[in-house]
Structure 1
């Protein structure tokens, strides 16, 4: 009798040859395999039961081969086209889900809005910084010629060069298509008819200047406007301010200090704010006698070259040493007793270099720059903050979406049962994410409009969102919103669409456990960034405090500075003597040099008597007899200048660094230093004193050799004030200034304020980074709050059981908090070495800086832990106070 067996026994005892199944699996489309292979197996078992295995194997092979045809082999699954009805359904469900889960929606929208708003603000700032000088049509062709030298470790880097540089480079090198020059003219008094006004931005410019730079003319001809001597071009703003509705063309302006009368030949648009120079008035270079000079030993001219499109400026730069040796060397031989080649052979360097126009704002570190330079490092810092803020907001969305997956699991299961494929579900969840992000984008734009005035004040910029003037801005923001939405929704979309229908409809969500590790990693990343910004901000503030409180070698408090006192002319000494007699003044001095702000110093090359071959580059201060006493500077050797010594006209005082440079640490008094002028005339100075080192430049730079000589530079009065009623003193001085008939306005400042202005960029960065770090912590805590809220919801029955068996509120809080606090502690361990390295690099940019203290890391780390604990505990305490009867009612 033929044995009978059940289907289950046939499955276990009889099966098609394995190689046939593998052949089918290899060629059959994956979405058809289960159905095709199941049917073939059913028929196989029936044949085995009726006619045996050999017969079944033969027919099974024939059927497998019959399926190896184009309609089956790797055929792609036909996707259902997204119809209008389906899209409408997706949108309806998306809005219902967002409305139903209000807390989830609020946390995500608010977090994304803050992250996107921060990124937009930073994007506006970064775009503005990179836009400098790019409004010029030839921006990519223009380079600036700069001067660089090193002598015995002292570095000279100047943004202006010698008068004949432009003419020589254009004539000697065919690749120089054009060359033009600027020379800053200060702030002259200009008269028109009965009115006198002060021009704050004035420069001499070559006749071809407006052919090189794109400054649109409203009136006049750019080719001829500066062709004739004593011709001038003014900006639209200046014309409106001083001429109103009158036509300014042809009007005559009297420059009193220059003893010249100039004719207005053109009016240009106001120079954009993103330009490295800002002048309201240009005078023809042919009006300036020094412009025709052939001297290579003085440098006061900003020189720009136009090169061919696509030309590598480094090729021309490599040839400039030849120019220096050919033209500068003979004059240097006369003035300094050595040629440029001999100068280099002594281990020094000297030469001309080229700087692309578009690099000037962010990559300049030169003396005499026409405007304060930006800092590319701060651009990198801001850009990183923007990226991290958006990522943190996206991470919040990912974490909250995956943590709340249980709320969407049955929906996913039902959709799959009813025929939805994975790609459709991914599309649905991405659509929800993008909709939410676009909503957050709208809120973010509103926040940006509200924050821009404050941000502009902090950053010292004039940024704005100009949708009309910038047509690409709105489409760009929409694309940005879609990109952020796609990034934020990508992982939740793939995660939710991967649920197995059978498992989720049975209430089993095993895959949720697999996402816990990723969520934990994302929380660690969020707090790693937040802690890094907290520590970095603290160190920035510590360094700024160190700068403001460091002993500078002089007294910066209660020092009033009156600039441009040379306008008093012969009355300067009269004004000065009255000042000394004022009981509210303890001392006063006349000098051209202030150890803060923009009073640049003259380079002064001197040689010592005991080593005439060693030339030392120093900085020269021209001072009077009262300068050291007024500034509170200390003489450590020798004496101060004195009216009792007629020989002090050739006396010199060194700072300690200069004395060390000559090897005269403790015995400098009586030594002689020699200086040669451009014509080779030598002047010997005898050392009478050593002044204690003081900081006369930014603390970014080390104190360099400095010498003080008597007189030579005037124009600024420094007043040591001893009254508390400073405003009354200022008012009195202003009245005296006006009574002496000076047409220029009375201008003053205080040394401590000028000193702070030197570090304005660092202060601005510190404030902005501080605000952004606070926002980063806040957004990260929003995500942590949402996670804690979801965890409390998911574990409410567990909490109820624990309360029934005797757990206290503190036990529940500890249960919740410990896992999160472990993540924050891990974030600390990761952030500390990274931020230590980054802040060490930043501090190394200062010659004088703090040492990073260990307690900063501990303080910020503990602060982050406490913030996280407070955020999580609020939800844990709320969950712990729920009556367990409510949570266990269904059990």
Structure 2
């Protein structure tokens, strides 16, 4: 006769009343008392009589309490002995079940190695610019605004801003400007060749007093003070001067600019967004003296004084800039600042903390390489997912194997083991597994780190020599062991010995439901990662195959063309005569990142400039071969003709510009006006206008990332000698390169031949997305692999548990296919549930990521179905092997003991 819940509750409260408070002793005593009471009640005794008789058999309350005290003393005295015993049993248990132990260790090791690599990546990304002493007080100024419906977001600012910050805002200690002018050819008097360098920048003198870049030689106060002075990194000092002291020596840039070395500094760390080997004095640059507040060519950083409220300061900054902007707005468009704002226009200056620059910047043009906090979150999520899947494997296998360990638990409890002893035992097994897995994970991560660095574009190292690293590893193993083992430990230790030994143990629906839930969660994550990876690849494929408005294939870009000087035109003509070459164009304005840009406001001829008719537009200086060389499509009007003197003021608009001005046909003799701009000084004249005559319209072409809308562009006939674009019509690229290089050496034997391909430069614009796609593919594959590893072991165990059932079914005529279907259908249901749950979240996540692109692929239902099918097939192959193996076994072997 079984006791009711009320009767069991009465017994428990009475035991507590008699002084039993030790949890393990209370549980064992309760279980024992209930069993004895049930036996007496089966003979016809009333509950209360049966209970009193059982309690009296234990003696007085004092005797019961004495048992509790002796238990505590024994437990405390034998802690070390018990631990050794736990350890031995753990080793025996793990070695006895080698297959399941291997699955757990392998899954955990691979998962932990992945987590380790991703953690190092995330840590490196978050560490950018943290090495500067004043990092919490260093900011840079960025601008956001809108003019005549065109929004702009700049990381560059007016030339006079830095001095105004120091002179007009007492909260600012120091300020420094940076100005990039692209690449330079660098050499010394003692060298016979030049080297192309791209890590050069002009800087104000206060650089070394704001940023913590250690000087090896030179003074931080005077290093960049004088015109034509230059500070170089330790690596460049070694490259150009070897063992000689570089101080005071001369570096020649682009053949005619001589800079004197005034300082040598330590190489900038890789986790800095400022990556420069040459710092040239800002006073060397005529443009730095520009006083225009509507210009935008200088990066501006500053150091705030201690205790300054950044938000309050930002408002003061905008008050100051508005005082300077208003006179220029009035001079250019004849409107006050208030009228300018009332028309829907605005200009806002924001301050960006130094440590936010790398991960929280999304500007078309920036001072150095930037990351994306979104991808940091994504990789961290993937690492957590992989770790969770590995932990789920352990929990699934541990609870699934519970029936095999049930009798062990029952016997040990009868022999005096408390539940706490068993919990410690099972947790120790888990932690031991984790420690072994961590050792293997470190080895795997060490082998994989070179490939991961190549994949992620990093130079990360595993800190194997750091004691802190091993301390963290041990704590992580302890934490993960507890995380993965706490449920199985409490689940297994809760078995009632009387039920186990009577054969009445019901592993229960609860265990099965939890196990099923964990499998669903594993494949939910796997399907999510598969869909995310497929989305990224589809977008990249869309970008690569979308019509760009220009032909990026088979275009060779020859750099440093300006160094040819007067030989540049003969060189261009000679390479055009090569049989593989179809055309060549001289211009530094190309529709990919890293080349010239010039943003100026235009308005229609015959009108006065105003906020209503001015359009911000790129103006590119090109030659008459530009459109044909880049495969652009002229949809209206005509191309440039250098023989026509009037074409010196001609302009060809893209469709976006043509629409912005409201023009109908290019033949209507439209004219555009703009303020005269001096490229050397950066000064814009308010009184002198340049006029352009519209002669044609070119089809819209992408010249920035597809995250941006195509904005207005005008092509004007002009002289820009930065690079030469060469269109070739052959698949023999090596022959083309050899022929062009021979021609280059003929004209400039002393200059290096620098080149790239337009399609490669285009691909560089999306290198972050490509890396994300590759990393996602690798880690998604590993996540699925770890999940399948656990599913494989779980399927093997379930087949083992149903061995006799399978034998009986085969004897009764069941086919192999029928048995395979029976064993696999349960897992198939779980995959379907996981798919149904994953699809809505995957759709939302994909939509959020794609929203960053103005031009994006349409994700159809097919992608989700394919992802689900892949997960389904993988699961069936994983489970199917074990199912077929079980179904084909000889029923005699499974039934002979019956």
Q: Report the TM-score when normalising by structure 2.
A: 0.90
Describe the SS at the equivalent of 1:619: strand
**C-alpha distance in structure 2 between counterparts of 1:231 and 1:431, whole Å:** 66
Describe the SS at the equivalent of 1:351: strand
Residue equivalent to 1:240: 238
1:97 pairs with 87, 93, 97, which one?
Answer: 93
Per-residue CA distance 1:267-306 (angstroms, 9 max, x = gap): 2111111111211122222333333332323332221111
Q: CA deviation at 1:490?
A: 0.9
Q: Describe the shift of the 1:243–1:84 C-alpha distance in structure 2 as closer, same or farther (beyond 3 A).
A: same
Instruction: Give yes or no for contact 1:233–1:265 (8 Å, CA) kept in 2.
Output: yes
**C-alpha distance in structure 2 between counterparts of 1:851 and 1:200, whole Å:** 38
Instruction: Give yes or no for contact 1:393–1:780 (8 Å, CA) kept in 2.
Output: yes
Per-residue CA distance 1:369-426 (angstroms, 9 max, x = gap): 1223211111111111100000000000000011011222122122222222222211
Residue equivalent to 1:654: 653
Q: Is residue 520 of structure 2 the alignment partner of residue 524 of structure 1? A: yes
**C-alpha distance in structure 2 between counterparts of 1:554 and 1:160, whole Å:** 29
Q: CA deviation at 1:312?
A: 3.7
Instruction: Give yes or no for contact 1:188–1:257 (8 Å, CA) kept in 2.
Output: no
Residue equivalent to 2:764: 757
Q: CA deviation at 1:694?
A: 1.1
1:875 pairs with 869, 882, 890, which one?
Answer: 882
Residue equivalent to 2:406: 409
**C-alpha distance in structure 2 between counterparts of 1:36 and 1:464, whole Å:** 56
Instruction: Give yes or no for contact 1:147–1:352 (8 Å, CA) kept in 2.
Output: yes
Q: Describe the shift of the 1:76–1:676 C-alpha distance in structure 2 as closer, same or farther (beyond 3 A).
A: farther
Describe the SS at the equivalent of 1:826: helix
Residue equivalent to 2:390: 393
**C-alpha distance in structure 2 between counterparts of 1:741 and 1:755, whole Å:** 28
**C-alpha distance in structure 2 between counterparts of 1:742 and 1:227, whole Å:** 36
Residue equivalent to 1:745: 752
Q: Describe the shift of the 1:675–1:68 C-alpha distance in structure 2 as closer, same or farther (beyond 3 A).
A: farther
**C-alpha distance in structure 1 between counterparts of 2:748 and 2:254, whole Å:** 14
Q: CA deviation at 1:28?
A: 5.0
Instruction: Give yes or no for contact 2:254–2:563 (8 Å, CA) kept in 1.
Output: no
Question: 1:43-58 alignment to 2 at 5 Å?
Answer: none
Describe the SS at the equivalent of 1:679: strand
Instruction: Give yes or no for contact 2:575–2:743 (8 Å, CA) kept in 1.
Output: no
Residue equivalent to 2:102: 106
Residue equivalent to 1:78: 72
Q: CA deviation at 1:845?
A: 1.2
Question: 1:422-441 alignment to 2 at 5 Å?
Answer: 422-441=419-438
Residue equivalent to 2:550: 554
**C-alpha distance in structure 1 between counterparts of 2:122 and 2:358, whole Å:** 12
Instruction: Give yes or no for contact 1:140–1:309 (8 Å, CA) kept in 2.
Output: no
Q: Describe the shift of the 1:33–1:621 C-alpha distance in structure 2 as closer, same or farther (beyond 3 A).
A: closer
Q: Describe the shift of the 1:22–1:757 C-alpha distance in structure 2 as closer, same or farther (beyond 3 A).
A: closer
Residue equivalent to 1:804: 811
Q: How many residues align?
A: 862
Q: Describe the shift of the 1:638–1:611 C-alpha distance in structure 2 as closer, same or farther (beyond 3 A).
A: same
**C-alpha distance in structure 2 between counterparts of 1:101 and 1:408, whole Å:** 11
Describe the SS at the equivalent of 2:705: coil
Residue equivalent to 1:350: 347
Residue equivalent to 1:165: 161
Residue equivalent to 1:60: none
**C-alpha distance in structure 2 between counterparts of 1:70 and 1:790, whole Å:** 44
Q: Is residue 207 of structure 2 the alignment partner of residue 217 of structure 1? A: no
Residue equivalent to 1:380: 377
Instruction: Give yes or no for contact 2:671–2:693 (8 Å, CA) kept in 1.
Output: yes
Residue equivalent to 1:119: 115
Q: Is residue 682 of structure 2 the alignment partner of residue 685 of structure 1? A: no
Structure 2 unaligned regions, length at least 5: 38-59, 677-683
**C-alpha distance in structure 2 between counterparts of 1:711 and 1:68, whole Å:** 106
Q: CA deviation at 1:212?
A: 0.8
**C-alpha distance in structure 1 between counterparts of 2:322 and 2:19, whole Å:** 79
Which stretch has the larger CA shift, 181-190 or 142-151? 181-190
**C-alpha distance in structure 1 between counterparts of 2:467 and 2:213, whole Å:** 23
Q: Is residue 163 of structure 2 the alignment partner of residue 156 of structure 1? A: no
Which stretch has the larger CA shift, 537-546 or 431-440? 537-546
Q: CA deviation at 1:696?
A: 1.2
**C-alpha distance in structure 2 between counterparts of 1:491 and 1:386, whole Å:** 22
Q: Describe the shift of the 1:187–1:592 C-alpha distance in structure 2 as closer, same or farther (beyond 3 A).
A: closer
Which stretch has the larger CA shift, 557-566 or 524-533? 557-566
Q: Describe the shift of the 1:499–1:257 C-alpha distance in structure 2 as closer, same or farther (beyond 3 A).
A: same
Q: CA deviation at 1:835?
A: 0.4
Residue equivalent to 2:267: 270
1:587 pairs with 583, 588, 598, which one?
Answer: 583
Residue equivalent to 1:295: 292
Instruction: Give yes or no for contact 1:115–1:390 (8 Å, CA) kept in 2.
Output: yes
Per-residue CA distance 1:125-183 (angstroms, 9 max, x = gap): 11111111111111111111122222233222222212221111112112112212222
Q: CA deviation at 1:460?
A: 1.1
**C-alpha distance in structure 2 between counterparts of 1:665 and 1:889, whole Å:** 93
**C-alpha distance in structure 1 between counterparts of 2:727 and 2:33, whole Å:** 103
**C-alpha distance in structure 1 between counterparts of 2:757 and 2:791, whole Å:** 48
Q: CA deviation at 1:836?
A: 0.8
Describe the SS at the equivalent of 2:172: coil
**C-alpha distance in structure 2 between counterparts of 1:256 and 1:830, whole Å:** 61
Structure 1 unaligned regions, length at least 5: 1-7, 44-65
Residue equivalent to 1:197: 194
**C-alpha distance in structure 2 between counterparts of 1:144 and 1:184, whole Å:** 16
Q: CA deviation at 1:886?
A: 1.7
Q: Describe the shift of the 1:408–1:37 C-alpha distance in structure 2 as closer, same or farther (beyond 3 A).
A: closer
Residue equivalent to 2:820: 813
Instruction: Give yes or no for contact 1:539–1:839 (8 Å, CA) kept in 2.
Output: yes
Q: Describe the shift of the 1:339–1:452 C-alpha distance in structure 2 as closer, same or farther (beyond 3 A).
A: farther
**C-alpha distance in structure 2 between counterparts of 1:176 and 1:649, whole Å:** 47
Instruction: Give yes or no for contact 1:129–1:274 (8 Å, CA) kept in 2.
Output: yes
**C-alpha distance in structure 2 between counterparts of 1:306 and 1:68, whole Å:** 75
Q: Describe the shift of the 1:576–1:36 C-alpha distance in structure 2 as closer, same or farther (beyond 3 A).
A: closer
Instruction: Give yes or no for contact 1:237–1:270 (8 Å, CA) kept in 2.
Output: yes
Residue equivalent to 2:46: none
**C-alpha distance in structure 1 between counterparts of 2:432 and 2:31, whole Å:** 42
**C-alpha distance in structure 1 between counterparts of 2:31 and 2:692, whole Å:** 105
Q: CA deviation at 1:481?
A: 1.7
1:707 pairs with 687, 702, 714, which one?
Answer: 714
Instruction: Give yes or no for contact 1:433–1:486 (8 Å, CA) kept in 2.
Output: yes
Residue equivalent to 1:508: 504
Q: CA deviation at 1:578?
A: 1.4
**C-alpha distance in structure 2 between counterparts of 1:96 and 1:378, whole Å:** 44
Instruction: Give yes or no for contact 1:430–1:489 (8 Å, CA) kept in 2.
Output: yes
Instruction: Give yes or no for contact 1:162–1:300 (8 Å, CA) kept in 2.
Output: yes
Residue equivalent to 2:44: none
Question: 1:21-60 alignment to 2 at 5 Å?
Answer: 28-29=19-20
